[in-house]
Structure 1
Amino acid sequence: MSLISPIKLQSVSKCYRIYKNPQDRFKQAFLNHWRRMIGAVENHAEAGYYREHWALRDVSFELQPGEAVGILGRNGAGKSTLLQIIAGTLAPTSGTVETTGRITALLELGSGFNPEFTGCENVFMNAGILGLSRKDTERRFDEIAAFADIGDFIDQPIKTYSSGMMMRLAFAVQTVLDPDVLIVDEALSVGDAKFQEKCFRKLRTLREGGTSILFVSHDINSVTSFCDRALLFDAGQLIDSGKPTDVSKAYIESLYSESPKKSPPRARENLPIEAEPERASPVQTITRDAAEEKVAQDEYRFGNRKVEILEVAIFDNKGKQTELLASGNRYTIIQTVVAHFPVIDLASGFIIRNKRGVDLFGITNKTAGVEIPRIEAGQIFEISIEIDAWLAAGDYFLQAANAGENGVQYDCRIDALHFVVIDTPTLFTTSIVNLNPKLRFDSIKNEQHTMGAPDG
């Protein structure tokens, strides 16, 4: 495996000019021509007939050989623009992009396909663009067709394909050609569950063979379970980079915070509550101190704290608090909460994740059909659930959260509690749930099915 970084970005920016009308575009072209005639150098600070929109601003990172990097961000954060620049279909306004080896990309659905050509013809066309000879493509064609698994439609025009069929063929072409870098931009979201699982198997095989992968998805579970590293973008800027489980927490905050911010999320933790003294609860100061003492070491927390979680705890069937759970036993999970302001239509819930950040279970009072009545300022209350802990042995993390109208987070405590499940000796160590299995062997006496029996 080569130790040279297949992708290296240095201070990459992309600016688009937004014109109010077509006439302004013509005026700007004339102005630019006049400036060139007098020898003036154009710069972005000068006034013109347009406004600037920076889709990317000063982005720098490297991709290592065999590394899978997930890219997270809200819609419009600059993810697709970044991938198009790396793929070479879009030029940056400034900065440098260094790439080595063969780069294949699954960008917009159907990109790179001629809708009038058959699937077979598109396979050869795309392979040729990627540098494969016709002989090499013929040698790999059966493998591509088998992976796409679209049957006789391989000989039909692309314009007759469903979105799922188009994605199947595109994925088969781009991954069978032994790329050094594979770029995937939310393409797998249109496939059925069985084909998605097949795709992730192929991606893991490619990664093990040294292929670097850039993976864009809004599915946090896919990023945390598959990727080695994650990048978080907001308003065209790279604002966080690191372990997928850590970056995903910042991504959740960017989605549900009342007013998303552009500074790095690590510097935004534990912001003070905005003061509204005429409505504030008299228990605010006391309960805040109690709450801070309960913060878990690896907890990630955000929200405006108008409603605040004081404590999260698990109790066994004898009412004893515990963080060591026996698989299959019944437990009660409780969050103790205080309202600092009057609240109506509260949404409160829990999520359980494994140590790779994959959601295993989640519930809110909304999904359970339980309405929470109006809560007054200063009121302390509990939200609880009873569960049968049919989890496999291992480490798990509990999230507790409370939100108001439009999903605005009052208090979201990710990894608020770390607990351990034991007593599943019969399961594989890779298991994440315990289905309470009963394995049995039954002998079937049938001489007809005896293999290798001697004659006579």
Structure 2
Amino acid sequence: MDKDILLTVKEPNSPPAYGSDEGANGEDLAQSVEALENSVRPVVLSVQNVTKSFTLYNSGMHRFWHWMGLPVKPREIVHITKDVSFDVRKGEAIALIGQNGAGKSTLLKLITGTMRPTKGRIDHAHSISAILELGLGFNSEFTGRENVRLSGGMLGHSPSELEALMPDIEAFAEIGEFFDKPLRTYSSGMQARLAFALATATQPDILIVDEVLSVGDAYFQHKSFARIREFRDNGCTIILVTHALPDVRELCDRVLLIDKGVVLRDGPPDEVIDYYNVLITEKQNAILTLEQRRNKNGWSVTRSGDFRAVVNDIRMFSAPSGKEIATARVGEKVLLKTEVNILDEVPQLVLGLMIRDRTGHVVWGTNTWFTRQAETDISAGENLTYTLEFECNLGPGSYSVSPALVSSDTHLENNYEWTDNLFVFDVINADKDYFIGTTMLDAEFTVSRGKAE
């Protein structure tokens, strides 16, 4: 079967779907100011037309003859990256995403100099610290302290500098007495703690991180992510490779989607991640409509699916008054109504709704498969209205609703339509006690006083 994906890109002046607002003037101005500020920051890394290829021969002898200058025809030339070009500016946090084998890690090795490009050039005049493989170069017979001295020297730290950094490295790793025991007695998580503590002992100009935030226990993952976030806030340029897309949404200003060695997209996290999510499903004749626009709240909108069923409209109403609203009060009971049109017969229909905050984190989501309300045997021309009633126990801010029309519990079997950030609403705190965060807890303090014994 033909599993090619048909990509349709709507230009910036294309009419928006569902009659939503184009960007407001104030939003456009804010984005223009941000773009101008970014453009004046100096470029700290420039990758220009970089290609990395490997030549395969029929035998080792053929390879040897080639080295000797004899005309030997290779069996195959494999291009890992092909004419990749991008610039990274000071203080920018970017992510490289893509499926396994896309060429992301190879590109990082080219940037750090552990590989040389077959063609093109990479320029930078700043210190780079790369975390490509935690624990690489450690000696299993050495203690943690001895490995810090050994590997720290390989990273360019002087002996005196390492001794000064040693207390902080030991404290950050939190491996206790094992710091002075042989590495062969460590668990993999303990080795990850030691390696990350050493690699981030000082803040470089450019920090490159390749799939290491997923190692170790949950506590240390949070701790490691907090350190990287601190580096970013202090002006460090960060290049991140990870499959943890929520981390990308939170940490990065920009995302490059790499596929088969080429850059497919380079843009804002929401836009590129939504594009990527459609690509990885690889459904037969799937259609991706990427709308190059932002609605009045600055959210990018992405649609995908075969469109046998489509969301015609989605609106929010105040449950007590029945009036349509775009802004809800904290704790207010609201109704979210989704109207669906059936354009072609579908055997089963499931509606999913996902609510995300402004940073892209999912704050809530479910679908009618899990609530045991899947509709079956639906004919073309039918209309369905779904009403979701809930108390808006969210913190003040802007939130988006992403509806999905599928046939089961996921979109991997039949994706009729998936639209990210279709509906956007605001939440204000009009009559509740002050709190922070994205969730209002129904919580009260109880205070007891007494004399100390």
- Give the Cα separation in 2 of the matches to 1:84 and 1:367: 44
Residue 305 of structure 1: CA displacement?
Answer: 1.0
Aligned to 1:150: 175
Structure 1 residue 330 displacement after superposition: 2.2
Q: 2:270 aligns to what? A: 245
Paired residue for 2:188?
163
Residue in structure 1 matched with residue 417 of structure 2 by the alignment: 411
- Cα distance, 1:190–1:345 mapped onto 2, change above 3 Å: farther
In structure 2, the partner of 1:358 is 361
Q: Is 2:219 aligned against 1:194?
A: yes
Unaligned runs of 5+ in 1: 271-295, 450-456
418, 431, 444: which is aligned to 2:449? Answer: 444
> Is residue 337 of structure 2 the alignment partner of residue 334 of structure 1?
yes
Q: In structure 2, what residue type is equivalent to 1:150?
A: I
Out of 114, 137, 143, which is 1:112 matched to? Answer: 137
Q: Which has the higher contact order (CA 8 A, sep 6+)?
A: 2
**What is the TM-score of this pair, normalised by structure 1?**
0.80
Q: Where does 1:181-330 land on structure 2 (aligned, <5 Å)? A: 181-258=206-283, 268-269=289-290, 298-318=300-320, 319-330=322-333
CA apart distance, 1:33: 4.5
Give the length in aligned residue pairs: 403
Cα distance, 1:357 vs structure 2 = 1.6
2-structure distance, mates of 1:256, 1:333: 28
Q: TM-score, normalised by structure 2?
A: 0.80
Q: Find the counterpart in structure 1 of residue 382 from structure 2.
A: 379
Q: 1:14 aligns with which of 52, 56, 60?
A: 52
- Cα distance in 1 between the residues matched to 2:252 and 2:300: 20
* Partner-residue secondary structure (3-state), 1:95: strand
Q: Displacement, 1:303?
A: 1.7
Percent of counterpart pairs with the same letter?
33
Point out 4+ residue stretches in structure 1 off by more than 4 angstroms: none
Structure with the higher strand share, 1 or 2: 2
Q: Whole-Å Cα distance in 2 between the matches of residues 384 and 423 of structure 1? A: 24
Cα-Cα RMSD: 2.9
Q: Tell me the SS of whatever aligns to 2:381.
A: coil
Contact 2:400 2:423 in 1 (8 A): yes
Aligned-partner SS, 1:344: strand
Q: Alpha-carbon deviation of 1:259?
A: 5.7
| Whole-Å separation in 2 of the counterparts to 1:149 and 1:328 | 41
Q: Could you tell me how far apart the structure 2 residues matched to 1:408 and 1:86 are? A: 40
Contact 1:28 1:49 in 2 (8 A): no
Moved more, 399-408 or 149-158: 399-408
CA contact (8 A) 2:92 2:253 kept: yes
Q: What is the CA distance between 1:86 and its match in structure 2?
A: 1.4
Task: From the superposition, tell whether residues 179 and 386 of structure 1 become closer, same or farther in structure 2 (CA, over 3 Å).
Answer: same
Change (3 A) 1:335 1:144: same
Alignment of 1:48-197 (within 5 A): 48-50=74-76, 52-197=77-222
Q: Name the SS of the counterpart of 1:124 in structure 2.
A: helix
Closer, same or farther in 2 for the Cα pair 1:255/1:134, shift >3 Å?
Answer: same
List runs of 5+ in structure 2 lacking aligned partners: 1-39, 292-297
Paired amino acid for 1:13: T
What is the CA-CA distance between 1:307 and the residue it aligns to? 2.0
CA shift, 1:232, in A, is 1.6
Greater Rg over alpha carbons, structure: 1
Partner of 2:37: none
Residues 307 and 338 in structure 1, CA contact (< 8 A), matched pair in contact too: yes
Q: Distance in 1 between matches of 2:236 and 2:268?
A: 20
State how far apart, in whole Å, the 1-side matches of 2:383 and 2:139 are: 63
Partner of residue 371 from structure 2, selected from 325, 349, 368: 368
Q: Map Cα deviations across residues 378-428 of structure 1 (whole Å, 9 max, x no partner).
A: 332234433221001111111001234734422111111111112255335
| Whole-angstrom CA distance in 2 between matches of 1:112 and 1:345 | 54
Distance of aligned partners of 1:203 and 1:256 in 2 relative to their CA distance in 1, 3 Å threshold: same
**How far 1:345 moved relative to its partner?**
4.5
Write the distance in 2 (CA, Å) between the matches of 1:259 and 1:109. 39
1:65 offset after TM fit, Å? 2.0
SS in 2 for 1:322: coil
* Contact 1:102–1:130 under 8 Å retained in 2: no
Q: Tell me, what secondary structure is at the counterpart of 1:57?
A: strand
User: Aligned AA for 2:303?
Assistant: R
**In the superposition, relative to structure 1, how do residues 379 and 170 fare at CA in structure 2: closer, same or farther (>3 Å)?**
same
Distance in 2 (CA, whole Å) between partners of 1:336 and 1:398 is 14
8 Å CA contact 1:392, 1:427 repeated in 2? no
Partners of 2:154 and 2:215 lie apart in 1 by 25
For 1:427, which of 414, 426, 434 is the aligned residue?
A: 434
Structure 2 equivalent of residue 25 of structure 1: 59
